[in-house]
Amino acid sequence: MFNFGTGIIGSLFKIIKMIAEVGVSVGALALLGIYTYQNKLIYPASMNDGHGYCATPDEYEMPNYESINLITEDGETLQCYSIKHDINSINYSNKTVLILSPNAGNIGHALPIVSIFYNQFGYNVFIYSYRGYGRSTGTASEHGLKIDAQRVIKYLTEEDEQYQQSSIVLYGRSLGGAVAIYIAATMSQAISGLILENTFLSIRKTVPHVFPLLKYFTSFVHQNWDSEKLVPLIPAKIPVILLSARNDEIVPPSHMDAIYSRLKSEDKVIYKFENSNHNDTVIQPQYWERIQQFIQDKVNPVGY
Ligand SMILES: *[C@@H]1O[C@H](CO)[C@@H](O)[C@H](O)[C@H]1NC(C)=O
Ligand SMILES: *[C@@H]1O[C@H](CO)[C@@H](O)[C@H](O)[C@H]1NC(C)=O
Ligand SMILES: *[C@@H]1O[C@H](CO)[C@@H](O)[C@H](O)[C@H]1NC(C)=O
């Protein structure tokens, strides 16, 4: 008589339960999607025609370049450009800039920047595509990109005599900054200077800023790039310059401030570009002057 189980309240209960279950399923599916497809979100290697045409250094007045393919220990092939100055020139700088690319496009797109380091400043430049990007094989992942970094550092410090002698400076923008921090923290003996631009403490701490709805689900981020943990491991003797866009719409500028304060470097400086967004810092006034000054004055041999 008082059994509401099959009455209106029972039906209502069933409907609510069903909605809840559907909701949970949709939510679970979405999270499964985030879990499964985050590599595609975090490493959009096809964006900006990344797998399309790849310009070569001779198109930017760097005819003496080599195209090199490095094979990683797990069998991937990394597409690299190696651009060296004449070691016998009287003004040879003995410095090499290793460019750690930001997240989209291919190494051809970076050639205007390569040309500044090489033609205007006189430094050797080595640049490579992470696995899955450009003409490199495989698919991108944090684990894979770290193997790639190890391979490149091995080449520069053990397999090529000219690079081996030179002082290596890392230039990392955004995701490239995370790779640079990884190298400086774990292969520090190879490194004489570190340039970081608009990079993050970790992907988990960046996600809520880009996708506010995901702020409760950051534990699903398995591609974390925990720079926050690695930064204090960078030896104090490595000089560091940080270039921070204060209107960065992707990485909160507070991340750069926190990286700056966590760095143990005895010689660190942060420049803040008030009117700059995530990707236009390279065209801000004083950007290149500050970088050149840093490499000349803080990296051995000083003055070149
Ligand atoms: C360095 O010297 C060479 C000649 O040895 C000259 O061609 C070149 O322009 C000089 N580079 C710079 C950056 O001064
Ligand atoms: C470059 O610097 C290294 C380390 O200081 C030194 O051993 C080497 O002779 C230098 N090479 C040139 C060409 O200046
Ligand atoms: C920044 O990104 C926007 C949109 O993707 C692009 O139009 C612009 O050219 C980029 N600016 C620089 C300096 O790369």
Note the pLDDT tens digit of each residue in 58-110: 999 999 999 999 999 999 999 999 999 999 999 999 999 999 998 878 999 99
Q: Is 136 helix (H, G, I), strand (E, B) or coil?
A: coil
101 lines ligand 3 (CB under 6 A): no
Distance 301 CA to ligand 2 centre (A): 9
Distance 85 CA to ligand 1 centre (A): 9
Q: Is 48 helix (H, G, I), strand (E, B) or coil?
A: helix
Q: Nearest C-alpha to atom 3 of ligand 3 is from which residue?
A: 279
Task: Quote the pTM value.
Answer: 0.88
Ligand with the closest atom to the CA of 276: 3
CA distances 84 to 130, 228, 283, Å, are 21, 33, 25
Please count the other Cβ atoms lying within 10 Å of the Cβ belonging to residue 244. 24
Are 159 and 183 within 8 A, CB to CB?
A: no
By the 10 Å C-beta count (0-12 exposed, 13-18 middle, 19+ buried), 94 is classed as middle
Q: Which atom belonging to ligand 1 lies closest to the Cα atom of 86?
A: 5
Whether the predicted pLDDT of 20 surpasses 70: no
Rounded to 10 deg, the angle between the 142-154 and 175-186 helix axes is 60
Q: Nearest C-alpha to atom 13 of ligand 3 is from which residue?
A: 280
Give pLDDT, residue 211: 79
Q: Nearest C-alpha to atom 1 of ligand 1 is from which residue?
A: 91
Q: Nearest C-alpha to atom 6 of ligand 2 is from which residue?
A: 165
Please count the other Cβ atoms lying within 10 Å of the Cβ belonging to residue 122. 17
Distance 91 CA to ligand 1 centre (A): 6
Q: Which atom belonging to ligand 3 lies closest to the Cα atom of 280?
A: 13
Distance 267 CA to ligand 1 centre (A): 30
Distance 290 CA to ligand 1 centre (A): 22
279 lines ligand 3 (CB under 6 A): yes
Are 153 and 190 within 8 A, CB to CB?
A: yes
**Local confidence band at 197 (pLDDT 50, 70, 90 cut-offs):** very high
pLDDT digits 0-9 by tens, 118-174: 999 999 999 999 999 999 999 999 999 999 999 999 999 999 999 999 999 999 999
280 lines ligand 3 (CB under 6 A): yes
Give pLDDT, residue 5: 44
Distance 301 CA to ligand 1 centre (A): 17
**Encoded tokens for 209:** 């800023």
Q: Nearest C-alpha to atom 14 of ligand 1 is from which residue?
A: 91
Which residues approach ligand 1 with their CB closer than 6 A? 89-91, 122
304 lines ligand 2 (CB under 6 A): no
Distance 194 CA to ligand 3 centre (A): 24
Whether the predicted pLDDT of 1 surpasses 60: no
Whether the predicted pLDDT of 41 surpasses 80: no
Distance 240 CA to ligand 1 centre (A): 27
Q: What's the mean pLDDT in 8-13?
A: 58
Q: Nearest C-alpha to atom 5 of ligand 1 is from which residue?
A: 89
Q: Is 37 helix (H, G, I), strand (E, B) or coil?
A: helix
